[in-house]
Chain A
């Protein structure tokens, strides 16, 4: 399994194919959630940033995107420590991975 496959796999979907519709909805809405977080970073609203990241991290875990959740957890830690440079860098990675998840899951499962 290469790095892209590792980051884009949903263990939930692998274990329970019936979850497909929910996973598709989550993935489809991922773009807007990432954009929202990006806007919050630009606004430097740390409280809102913590809340939004925390929620997305929890959802990512529940939908089985374990590696993506770990990335969000690292990002959340940097936000909590107010390490602007570190969380800005981590966010670039999150954006790429979320796009990979989107194209991989939609490409593979959306009809």
Chain B
């Protein structure tokens, strides 16, 4: 089973997996696909190794993160990595494949979720898909992009320019309002405000829209701790949109 893996070949993979058997076989499979694989056995070691590799100017291209690990589990390690500014893909790999767990992984900052119970080919395909993702879109999830984003709709429908500008002008204030409402928590106010922000998808701010949907899901389930984390990611996406204000103005002019 030799994968002709263009995206994964020569990529530096950090695998965090506490189970020796799983660690060995995953290392074997990804190495055979042409990747350079390093492995650690818990979330804490993973966070340390990512930082160390960055300092050595040999950063990892992707982290494959088991969810259930001792010392620091995969979700907590992912949150730490994102908080430290790690913007490369993190893929959760686990034997559990419930929707609940998947949502938790994504809310923690993982880009994707792969089940160990799936076939090896599908697992590698999923990881390649993440590696092939548009890097700008991925960056805007976790950090303020260097180049502000001009929504595609402006290129095709310039008449939306005033509405988009107004949306950008108000976005950080709206996110601050969400934070205030969540602190209460004022459910009705939160849902109303989420509704008011739902144009994000139409305007082409898909990352923001996805984060908003994730935030709303946690609200619906009254999972306020997860909602707070989702709101932090939403706030980062809002900052990214806000930075694009000048660029949008320039584009319209």
Contacts and interface: CB of A to CB of B under 8 A. Distances in A.
Q: Do A and B bind each other?
A: yes
A82 interface: no
Nearest to A63: B25
Given A51-B68, A54-B95, A69-B117, A62 B26 contact: yes
Contacts of B68: 51, 54-55
A16 B24 contact: no
Nearest to B95: A58
B245 to A, nearest CB: 47
Interface string A55-82: 1011101110000010001000000000
A57 B94 CA distance: 10
A26 B21 contact: yes
B19 interface: yes
A22 B24 contact: yes
Contacts of B116: 58, 61-62
B4 interface: no
Contacts of B19: 55, 58-59
A29 B68 CA distance: 21
A18 B120 CA distance: 15
Q: Contact residue range for chain B?
A: 10 to 19
A39 interface: no
Interface string A6-33: 0000001001101100100110010000
Interface in B1-55: 1, 18-19, 21-22, 24-26, 28, 32
B207 to A, nearest CB: 31
Contacts of A58: 19, 22, 94-95, 116-117
B96 interface: yes
Contacts of B95: 54-55, 57-58, 61
Interface string B47-84: 00000000000000000000010000000000000000
Given A54-B68, A54-B95, A62 B1 contact: no
Contacts of A57: 95, 117
Given A15-B1, A54-B96, A59 B117 contact: no
Nearest to B24: A22
Contacts of A25: 21, 24
A70 B230 CA distance: 34
B31 to A, nearest CB: 11
A69 to B, nearest CB: 7
Contacts of A15: 1, 120
Contacts of A55: 18-19, 22, 68, 95
Given A12-B120, A54-B68, A54-B95, A59 B1 contact: no
Interface string B94-123: 111000000000000000000011001000
8 contacts: A29-B21, A54-B96, A55-B19, A58-B117, A59-B19, A59-B22, A61-B95, A61-B116
Interface of B: 1, 18-19, 21-22, 24-26, 28, 32, 68, 94-96, 116-117, 120
Closest CB pairs A-B (n = 5): A58-B95, A59-B21, A58-B116, A16-B1, A15-B1
Given A29-B21, A62-B26, 9 more contacts: A12-B120, A55-B18, A55-B19, A57-B95, A58-B19, A58-B22, A58-B95, A59-B25, A61-B95
